[in-house]
Structure formats: structure tokens, C-alpha cells
Chains A and B, each alone.
Chain A
Amino acid sequence: MKLNKTLRVATAISLFAAGGAFAETITIATVNNGDMIRMQGYTSEFTKQTGIDVNWVTLEENVLRQRVTTDITTKGGQFDIMTIGMYETPIWGKNGWLVPLDKLPASYDVNDILPAMRNGLSADGTLYAAPFYGESSMVMYRTDLMKKAGLTMPEKPDWDFIRKAAAAMTDRANEVNGICLRGKPGWGEGGAFITAMSNSFGARWFDMKWNAQFDTKPWRETLTFYKGMMDESGPPGYATNGFNENLSLFQQGKCGMWIDATVAASFVTNPKDSTVADKVGFAIAPNKKGIDKHSNWLWAWALAVPAGTQKQDAAMKFIEWATSKAYIELVASKEGWANVPPGARTSLYENPNYKDIPFAKMTLESINLANPLKPTVDPVPYVGIQFVAIPEFAGIATDVSQQFSAAYAGQQSIDEALAKAQALTNDAMEAAGYR
């Protein structure tokens, strides 16, 4: 009798333990953007398929970056999947901090990932993060104001046209600014925009010996053009405007043109939030006449598995599910094709249902036009278009963008800003051992 009871208790305990073992839980650190939030809503589908539970830790982009960097460099093991960008992936991959994604099944169809995204998320030819959503940058403009100005936007405008159109569309009395661009300090804000713009003027951050290049003519031309155009046709206080400020201005009908992330296209054409939803056209980001590089950038939010995780298999399963063709179809079936995560897979842009989305074609063209391996005219020792994929870049570029913003605001001249940028960049690169 006693033995029987003991056996029953033992069986119950082992069943409980087995149940616990099956109910594996993974923790994912992620950013707060529409696509990632949408994915959180569909997590139950993944749990239903695999039996794996998911804990989400959603943080603001910069907080997330600091949080996951601390964890991965100390092998804290707090996260089984991290949402990281194109800047971190090659650096972390090279350092051996990420699990290579080289064992994905054939059904995943890794070759379907857009080549630009695959290159940007690889180090030495190995893919380290799977893109969940990708973007470039492009011109978004008001078709009604362009028509009123008597101009027609070409598919690939140059900077001279953009400046002329901006001046023609500006109507200060009605609070309409011809053009809205980022000027806010920060490597991911104004710093990203001006770096991408400088490529289209033939400028570069470093020569092949890692010497800063802010004392060259193309950089001076870039800043002079930017400030001249923004003083003529930009909104007041543009030196402190970032993505959100410009989005708000555009949605309220206060910008004739806005050059920014392709993801913004879905926001400005959404009639629920935008007052100009039915009056928006799209074009490739401009270049300087005679320069074969455009000012569009390339970015992806991607899912990666930190090398320290104890739940590698479960994490891989989640990545396969979240970045698969099937996930895109799941979102399309529930919320329509306009709401699927863009910019990651070739098959999405071949889908006849998606081709009807007004900004789909221009987004794909912009992504395909971006080459992080050859971002500007002259050769460079780095990878990246609106950033330089070295660990020191975030700090240096934030300081440089502060100098540029001070020049936009009229607190110092362009020459002073460039001289300071040159000195601080060279100092930092010397301290880091590049020079």
C-alpha cells in the first residue's frame, strides 16, 4: 500500500517535471515599432505550433541597444533572441557573439532574402541575423503641391531639382515648408541622414588608411547645400527635427517633400493618421548631378541568437517562423498586404497582391540601389551606407552630428563644424588604434 502510494507520488512528480521541460520559454528583446508589436500579437500561433512560450521585452531603440550590448558583452544570458540592426550584426558576428544562421532548412529559402539585406547582415560571408523588416530611404512628396508649383517629380530626381521644387512649394503664410529633413543630433538621426546625403555628393567618412575626410570638398558641398536649402525652404528649428518631428509635420500637411525611411510611406498614406494620405507620391532619393551614388540608405531590424543562450534550438525555431514566407502570409490574411513587414524577402515583391501597394515598387528599387559594400564614389575601408560598421562609430558620429546641428542652428559656421568634426574623428580613431 505504502509502495503504491510512493509510486503514485513519484509518477506525479516526473509527469510534472516532464511537463515543465516541454513548456520551454524563450525571452526576446525587441524594439517598439509597428511590425514588432504586430508580431507579439501572433506569438500564440507560434506557441500553438511548437509548444514554446515567448516572453517579450520591448524597449525604446536606444535603450534596447545599450541593454543588449551590456548583456552580450558580459555573457549575461538574459535574452535568447535579440532584435539588432545592420550596424551591430557584422561587428558582433565577427566577434563570435552570435550564433551563425547557417543551418536553416531548405524550406526557409534563405536565398529569398533580398541580397542587399543578406550582405548587410553577414560577416565574412556568414549570415548572423535574419531580417524581419528592411528599409531604405526615399523621397515622399505632396502630389498636389508639386502640381500647383507647375513641376513634375522625376523618378530619380537630383538635388538641384529637389531644391528648386522645395522653394516653389514653400508657402510660409500657410505654414507649408518645401522640404523637411532630419537635423537632430545623434548617429541614427541627423547623423544617418547627412552621411547618406554626403555619399551622393561623393564624400566619405574615411580614406583607405582610416583618415577622416571632413576637410574635403565633397563634405563642404554637402553641408553648404543642406543648410542653404533648409534655410530657404525647411521648417523653423529644423536642426532639432528627427524622424518623428518630420513625420508629424508631413502628416499635418506642413511639408512639401520629406526624404526619410521607406517605412514612413505606410504612415503618411494611412488615412487614419495622415491628413494628406491620398496626395503622396514617391521617388528615389536624390543624387548630385554627375555622381552615380544616391542618398538612400539601407537598414534592417533582424533577429539574432546570442552565443550564450541555453535555448538555441527553440530560438532558431522562432527565427525560422518569424522571418518565414508563411508569417508574411499569416499577417496578410489577417490584416491585409499593406501591413506585412516589408523589405526582407524577394518573393513579397513578386506577389501580385503586394504589387498594388503604392509604395512597394519604390521601396524595392531603393533597397536594391543601396550597396553597403560600396557606399560612395571613392573606395572605403568600411561597410555601411549611413553608418560605418565599427564599434567606435556610434560615439564618434554622435559627436560629429552635434557639431553639424550647431552649424544648422547658426551657432557656428560650416567650416568650424567640419574642422571640429575632422579633429575629433581623427583623435578618436587614433585612440582606438586605427591610425
Chain B
Amino acid sequence: MARAVTSRRKIINTVVAWGIGFLIFFPILWIVILSFKAEGDAIRTPIEVLTAPWTFENYSIVQARSNYSMHFFNSVVISFGSTILGLIIAVPAAWSMAFVPSRRTKDILMWMLSTKMLPAVGVLYPIYLMFIQLGLLDTRTGLMIVLMLINLPIIIWMLFTYFKEIPVDILEAARMDGASLREEILYVLTPMAIPGMASTVLLNVILAWNEAFWTLNLTAANAAPLTAFIASYSSPEGLFYAKLSAASVMAIAPILILGWFSQKQLVRGLTFGAVK
């Protein structure tokens, strides 16, 4: 009897979980469908959209009109570059806060998080003026620095949480064996925190990939990533849903594929230390 209830509940849970999953995924699925429809068909009722003929026309138009490979290359460099830069600063910072905390560590952590509460547009002009002076406007280097600074609090917070799970005794044992600070971080701490670091890297690459305020406002013709590529297909006067959908699919496909293949690592990292 008990087994029957359990399996019924299992079925219900599975159906509900799949239902919620499908609901969340549905907008992306619809974008993919629209991207294979003619512009005139894309605005019709859902049934008419589904029964309309399929076409690759939008992809060929987008390919012909835009320099996709340049935008893609910029996105890859900016998102991975900013994440690597962030890690270089965040690993030692998180290490010191996790293993050598001071009286102010908690305040510093909260302060770092509070910088995320400031609306980005509030600092647009100061940053724009600094970029003009430093010659960083429309450069990949400039964007890497800005996105690194934006995501740094998240990277430090995540690494801090993972490092806190690592027993300090292991690090002390390494020190007793004569390991230097660099060796301690590189050869003892890092291998143990790999799942956490991997999910931190993945999450930050996704955040940087999708960032659409600074990447639109600080770029022009040279460093514009895929967010600018999508923005060029949106229009308040004219229906370009099918082309916009094709551009969106081309922009999100790489990060979706990356997320798909690394989902195990991502989930493992995000739940790291959740159950003790």
C-alpha cells in the first residue's frame, strides 16, 4: 500500500516537475520555432504558426546582414576573460576571508554585495568619461575590466562559501609539511574546491555572456558582443520577430550548449555543502 502511494506521488512529482520545466523552457522553444517561420507567419495565432511552412530564410538573412563571427568572438573573449580576471583577484580574497578572517570580514562581504544594489545607469557617465580618458571605449579590454568588477562580488561570495566548507586542518597540515602560501592555495585548496570553482566560472561566464547594459553602452563597431547583435534586430516600428528570433537563437545557442554539457558540474557546485 505504502509502495503504491509512493509511486503515485512519484508520478505526480515527475509530471509536475516536467510541467514546470517545460513552462520555463517554453519561451526559448517558441523563439526557436519562430526563427524557422516566414516573417508574415510569425505574427499569426499559435496554431497557424505551427502549421506554416518551415524556412531557413531568417538565418541566411541574419548571416548576410551581420558579422556574427565577430560578435561571437567578442562574447567569448569578454565573458571568459572577465571571469579569469575575476578569479585571479577573488581566489586570494576569498581565501583570506575564509581562513584568516578579521573582525570586519562580514562587513566587507556585505559591503561588496551592496555594490550590486546600485543601478548600473547611476554610474554610466563617470565610467564612460573614465573610458574616454583611458582610451578604453569600444575595446574588449575595457569590457573585460568592467564585467569583472561587476561580477567580482558574486565570485568572491561563491568562493568564500566553498572555501568555508574545506576543513582548515588540511591547510594547516600542508603548512606543517612546509608548503608556502602559493603552494597551499594552488596545490591543496584549489583541487579540493574544483567543483565550487567550476560552477563559479560557469555562472560568471553565463552572467557576462548575457550582460546587456555595459556591453551595449561601452561598445560601437569593434568590441560589440552578441548582445549588440541581438539589439540590432529589435525594432518598435516594424515586425521583425522571425529575424529577431533567429538572431536570438544564434546568440544563446553557444551558452545553452555549454550549460547543457556542464549542467552536472553546475548543479554539483551550486549544491556543494548544502547538505551536511
Chain A positions within 8 Å of B, measured between CB atoms, are 27, 29, 31-34, 37, 40, 55-63, 66-67, 70-71, 74-79, 188-189, 242-244, 247-248, 251-252, 261, 263, 267, 272-274
Instruction: Give the CA-CA distance A76 to B38 in the complex, in Å.
Output: 40
The interface residues of chain B lying within 8 Å CB-to-CB of A33 are 235, 237-238
A274 to B44, CA, bound (A): 11
Q: Which residue of A61, A70, A247 is within 8 Å of B124 (Cβ)?
A: A70
The stretch from B14-22, B185-193, B213-221, B254-262 touching chain A is: B213-221
In the bound complex, CA of A189 to CA of B232 (Å): 20
Q: Which residues of A contact B211 (CB under 8 A)?
A: none
User: What are 7 A-to-B residue pairs whose CB atoms are below 8 Å?
Assistant: A56-B221, A62-B236, A76-B128, A76-B132, A243-B237, A261-B237, A272-B38
In the complex, B25 has a CB within 8 A of chain A: no
Are A70 and B128 interface neighbours, CB within 8 A?
yes
Instruction: Determine if A32 and B232 form an interchain contact, defined as CB atoms under 8 angstroms apart.
Output: yes
Among the listed A29, A56, A58, A66, which residue makes an inter-chain contact with B217, where contact means beta carbons less than 8 Å apart? A66
Which residue of B43, B65, B224 contacts A57 across the interface (Cβ within 8 Å)? B224
Q: Is the CB of B216 within 8 A of A59?
A: yes
Report which of B39, B128, B228, B237 forms a contact with A244, defined as CB distance below 8 A.
Answer: B237
Considering only residues 35-65 of chain B, those with a C-beta below 8 Å from chain A are 38-40, 43-44, 65
Taking a contact as CB atoms under 8 Å apart, the answer to whether B125 and A55 are in contact is no
The reply on B23 being an interface residue by CB < 8 A is no
B231 to A244, Cβ gap below 8 A? no
From B124, which residue of chain A is reached at the shortest CB distance? A70
B70 vs chain A, min Cβ distance (A)? 11
- Contact residues in B for A273 (Cβ distance below 8 Å): 39-40, 239
Compute how far the CA of A272 lies from the CA of B65 in the bound complex, rounded to whole angstroms.
20
Interface of A is mostly: mixed
Minimum CB distance partner of A299 in chain B: B237
Interface residues of B in 213-257 (CB under 8 A from A): 216-217, 220-221, 224, 228, 231-240
Partner of A263, one of B65, B128, B220, B237: B237
With a cutoff of 8 Å between Cβ atoms, the chain B residues found around residue A55 in the complex are 220-221
State which size class the interface on B falls in. Answer: 20 to 34
Determine if B224 and A189 form an interchain contact, defined as CB atoms under 8 angstroms apart. Answer: no
Whether A75 pairs with B39 at a CB distance below 8 angstroms is no
Rounded to whole angstroms, the CA-CA distance of A319 and B224 in the bound complex is 24
CA distance A78 to B135 in the complex (A): 11
Query: Judging by beta carbons under 8 Å apart, are A32 and B216 in contact?
Result: no
Known contacts being A67-B217, A272-B40, is A32 close to B235, with CB within 8 Å?
A: yes
List residues of chain A with CB within 8 A of the CB of B132.
74-77
Q: Do A242 and B236 contact each other (CB < 8 Å), given the known contacts A40-B65, A66-B217, A74-B128?
A: yes
Given A248-B239, A267-B239, 19 further pairs, Cβ under 8 A: A27-B221, A31-B235, A32-B233, A55-B220, A57-B221, A60-B234, A61-B237, A63-B216, A67-B217, A70-B128, A78-B138, A189-B236, A242-B236, A243-B237, A244-B238, A244-B239, A251-B40, A251-B43, A272-B40
- In the complex formed, the residue of B with least CB distance to A244 is B239
Which residue from chain A places its CB closest to the CB of B212 in the assembled complex?
A: A63
Cross-interface CB contact of A78 among B39, B129, B220, B239, cutoff 8 Å: B220
Q: How far is the CA of A251 from the CA of B42 in the complex (A)?
A: 12
B65 x A37 contact (CB < 8 A): yes
B residues with a Cβ closer than 8 A to A are 38-40, 43-44, 65, 124-125, 128-129, 132, 137-138, 216-217, 220-221, 224, 228, 231-240
Query: Across chains A and B, which 7 residue pairs bring their CB atoms closest together, nearest first?
Result: A58-B232, A55-B221, A273-B40, A60-B234, A78-B220, A248-B43, A32-B235
From A34, which residue of chain B is reached at the shortest CB distance? B238
Smallest distance from the beta carbon of A36 to chain B beta carbons, Å?
10
What residues of B have a CB within 8 angstroms of the CB of A31 in the complex? 235
Question: In the complex, A58→B237 CA distance in Å?
Answer: 14
Q: What's the Cα separation between A55 and B220 when bound, in Å? A: 9
Residues of B within 8 A of A57 (CB): 220-221, 224, 228, 232
Given contacts A57-B220, A62-B236, A244-B237, are A252 and B44 in contact (CB under 8 A)?
yes
Q: What's the Cα separation between A55 and B65 when bound, in Å?
A: 12
**Cβ-defined contact, B236 with A252, below 8 A:** no
Please give, as numbers and ranges, the residues of chain B lying within 8 Å of A77 by CB-CB distance: 132
Contact A32 B217, CB 8 Å, known A37-B65, A273-B239, A274-B40:
no
CA distance A236 to B108 in the complex (A): 52
A27 proximity list for chain B (CB < 8 A)? 220-221
CA distance A118 to B172 in the complex (A): 78
B40 adjacent to A60 (CB under 8 Å): no
Q: Which residues of B contact A267 (CB under 8 A)?
A: 238-239
Q: Which residues on A sit within 8 Å (CB–CB) of B234?
A: 32, 60, 63
Q: Which residues of chain A are near B40, meaning CB under 8 Å?
A: 251, 272-274
Across the interface, which residues of B come within 8 angstroms of A252, CB to CB?
A: 43-44
Would you call A74 and B239 a contact (CB within 8 A)?
no
